[in-house]
A and B are shown apart, each in its own frame.
Chain A
């Protein structure tokens, strides 16, 4: 099965700073790389995804970069705001039926 690791497990930044979360995976057949955001007590929601034929994707303050050779992809958030505070999960998948969630990164943005 897929082995997924996220780093860091906790990230504390000041409002306006940038945040980067890295996800490494093991299954070379993975071809779909989404990031989900889960606020406290809420459901996970997709914030950005990328497929293996693309190296980078950007949506306003959020971007994802993919290095398929090294088997990792990263979430970049610029100009962080307090409402970005949440747990972020990477879910590299496509090699099997089963989406494998990382353990999550808790992002805390201090006003």
Chain B
């Protein structure tokens, strides 16, 4: 079966760094995506990994280890507007997107 795990909630302080982990078990693997979603809004794309290693994009970085079925999203220099849910999604062998439960991040002043 398909299974993606993320922590349910995380809290961090403005200006700090936070790492959100994601582990997955899917039928095939064709890439891992991270999305940000504010309450009541559509998910927006943050990053994509298909090969092992780190992808950096401004304040956001994402890491993938395919052998471990593991990824993390790193957010640096946290801002209040980063308070949102962060969804880990895997494109499986059937080219379908399987979403994790999301991690609700609260950034405190």
- Please indicate whether A and B come from the same complex rather than being unrelated chains: no
Interface residues of chain B, those whose CB is within 8 Å of chain A, are none
